[in-house]
Structure 1
Amino acid sequence: MLDWTAEAALHSGVIDRAVLSTDDQEIAEAGCALGLDVPFLRPADLAGDSALMLGVMQHCLAELRRAGEAIEAIVLLQPTSPFRRAHHVRESVAKFRETQAHTLVSVVSVPHRFVPEGQMRENDGLLSPYFGGGIGRTTRQEKERLFARNGPAVLIVRSSVLDAGLLYGETIVGYEMDELSSLDVDTPEELRLADHLLRTGYVR
């Protein structure tokens, strides 16, 4: 998955420097072999399951600044999104620049059956509409179109927003991706699905 991510970053044509943040020397060496820069190792307290991405990005920003670099924004590409490609990165950066947003996040459209109007709650074994009212009174076309972050596969944050201790600034724009490209590998089942899609040629 690191290979896919390195390819997306390096072939996008819009990333000034593709930096790998990791605490693992073996992963660092693999990243270097793929053409990524590894100018530092991430501290252990930012590498565990409870580590927040905000801290990881702030650490990266601080390390790059310490080396004298002026950073406009950081583009986060997590390896758990193997089907995010170079054109997704390129289009995201173009939209980020065009809109002058503080943050851009990649999203996927929420299926209509999962929007709030379609949800139900259970009380004493009986179901009732989550928001009250009647079920089935809203057609699919009438339901509000909602979006969910898809990993996110792409997250672009201005340095000033990170300096303020945030990932999401005052203005946030979304970059919509299709459901397949949005696959986020967090479980063994999702890894098997991604492997199957690649082996069968369904995703290239």
Structure 2
Amino acid sequence: MRILGIIPARGGSKGVPGKNIKELGGQPLLAYTILQSLQSRLLTRVIVSSDDSDIINCALAYGAEVPFVRPDFLADDKAASIAVVQHAVAFLESENEYFDAVCLLQATSPFREKGSIDKAIARFIESEADALVSVLPVPHEFNPHWVFEPDRNGFLSIATGEAKIIGRRQELPPAFFRDGSIYLTKTECIKEGTFYGEKLAFTQSNPELYVNIDSPDDWKAAEMKLPTIMSLI
């Protein structure tokens, strides 16, 4: 299976200015995801999609390919990730290069366990799913079976629509949230405008590595994790 690795990295970050090339533990944030992707044996090609010359130069310095400059209309904070990936796929197909699937790797989730990308790809292929996402368990207190929503009259009802709440934590079914580090999707689904398709598989990430950098507090959390996780990533 031919799988394209795409790392989106636009300029103009507002939460943490310049975050994609800001140094975290001695190297740019973007470098973590590039180096992890280049270690993969199952990604056919790895590219960075960016509009910013400094980010592009950084990506090239760390070994990623940058086959195009992302157009301005896909480079503001309102641009949808699916549109960014569709643009990359269309560009490469215009160069007569085709892929069966796309692996989206977000630089803002920089910590991935060694081998996790290939583990996810192997699971994706084996499952014959339309897509796969990396996930972490939802803490039981936030399980959707224990979450309430207000109705139009101001009364609460269980978010899942059940009439009776599950009484014991041990009886709650597993629930997961996307951790943001790996998205794998068949190219045909990307062209249809979805990362998920109809059959969505998953792989569990290491919770010790979880960080999703969108704010200065997230950046501080990543800095605090680094000394204890370097052997894992």
TM-score, normalised relative to structure 1: 0.89
Structure with the largest fraction of strand:
2
Who is 1:159 aligned against?
A: 187
Is the contact between residue 12 and residue 86 of structure 1 (CA under 8 Å) also seen in structure 2?
A: no
Q: How does 1:106-145 map to 2 (within 5 A)?
A: 106-120=134-148, 130=158, 138-145=167-174
1:163-178 pair list within 5 angstroms: 163-178=191-206
Q: Is the 8 A contact 1:109 1:148 kept in 2?
A: yes
Match of 1:53 among 48, 66, 81: 81
Secondary structure of the corresponding residue to residue 201 of structure 2: strand
Instruction: Name the amino acid aligned to 2:138.
Output: V
For 2:123, the equivalent position in structure 1 comes to 95
1:141: how far off?
1.0
Q: Distance in 2 between matches of 1:86 and 1:43?
A: 33
Q: CA RMSD in A?
A: 2.1
The answer to whether the aligner puts 1:202 opposite 2:231 as a matched pair is no
Which ranges in structure 1 are unaligned for 5 or more consecutive residues? Answer: none
- Against the structure 1 CA distance between its residues 7 and 86, is the aligned structure 2 distance closer, same or farther, given a 3 Å change threshold? farther
Conserved? CA contact 1:83–1:180, under 8 Å: no
Counterpart of 2:175 in structure 1 is 146
Between the aligned residues of both structures, percent identity stands at: 32
Which amino acid counterpart does residue 99 of structure 1 have in structure 2? S
State the SS of the aligned residue for 1:19. Answer: strand
Question: How many residues of Structure 1 are paired with residues of Structure 2 in the alignment?
Answer: 198
Question: Which position in structure 1 is the counterpart of 2:65?
Answer: 37
**Matching residue within 13, 17, 34 for 2:41:** 13
* Secondary structure in 2 matching 1:50: coil
Q: Which residue, 80, 101, 108 being the options, matches 1:80? A: 108
Query: Do 2:150 and 2:157's aligned partners in 1 also have CA atoms closer than 8 Å?
Result: no
TM-score by length of 2: 0.78
Q: Secondary structure at the match of 1:106?
A: strand
Write the distance in 1 (CA, Å) between the matches of 2:216 and 2:130.
34
1:68 aligned onto 2:96:
yes
Write the distance in 2 (CA, Å) between the matches of 1:149 and 1:121: 21
Gaps of 5+ in 2: 1-28
